[in-house]
Amino acid sequence: EDKVVQSPLSLVVHEGDTVTLNCSYEVTNFRSLLWYKQEKKAPTFLFMLTSSGIEKKSGRLSSILDKKELFSILNITATQTGDSAIYLCAVEAGGTSYGKLTFGQGTILTVHP
Amino acid sequence: EAGVAQSPRYKIIEKRQSVAFWCNPISGHATLYWYQQILGQGPKLLIQFQNNGVVDDSQLPKDRFSAERLKGVDSTLKIQPAKLEDSAVYLCASSRASVSNEQFFGPGTRLTVL
């Protein structure tokens, strides 16, 4: 059974801090790893990673994948209160399970002013 | 481009009652997903459609849950009869799978079973 584990489960920081969120996975027939930000209800897409060692960057957020060690990290620099959310990691399977996402339990990030 | 639409946004029912949720995906997205997200957990895939065919329903509790996507566009998810443990947010997502599997999520329906 595919499995995704995120750590830490929750994190409280102050504005301006840098945070690192972790995601480890076990999946049969790996295709990609995705990061989502969930505020209130609907998760919104952040990154899709398919290749090891290539950093994806969007503003203050960046992410990298290590397919040998089966993990990914999401970095947020100079955090702002608007970064407070649940960050979800998901792995996508290929083959006959094409498109199926298995999510981790999420990391709750709280950024205080 | 309009996003994924879901209704209702909230629903409160008694256990053993029935409930139905509706989803309209982004126009042109052939793949549609229903997820169940229990408080404190990540979303869990219930069922995946490709056009109007089922691709994966291995985690759908088929004794009480059913879903259809008759014309390959909008979809309904039904629970009959509901149990207390069905209390969750039900998320619908869609993707243009032939281009990318980036999934776009709707706002979800929060179901409370009393």
- The pLDDT tens digits for A24-45 are 999 888 889 999 999 977 899 9
CB-nearest partner of B42 from A31, A42, A106: A106
For residue A103, what pLDDT is reported? Answer: 95
A34 touching B, CB under 8 A?
A: yes
pLDDT of residue B93: 95
pLDDT at B98: 56
Measured between CA atoms, how close is B54 to chain A, in angstroms? 12
Read off the pLDDT of residues B80-110 as tens digits, 9 standing for 90 and up: 999 999 999 999 999 986 556 788 999 999 9
Tens-digit pLDDT profile for residues A64-111: 999 999 999 999 999 999 999 999 999 988 776 667 889 999 999 999
Please give the span between the terminal C-alpha atoms of chain B, in angstroms, as a whole number.
37
Please tell me which of A27-36, B9-18, B48-57 the model is most confident about, judged by mean pLDDT: B9-18
**Hey, are the CB atoms on B91 and A90 less than 8 Å from each other?**
no
Residues of A in contact with B103 (CB under 8 A): 34, 45, 101
Minimal Cβ distance to A99: which of B95, B104, B105? B95
Q: Look at residue B5 and tell me whether its pLDDT is greater than 90.
A: yes
For residue B64, give the nearest of B85, B47, B76, B78 by alpha carbon.
Answer: B78
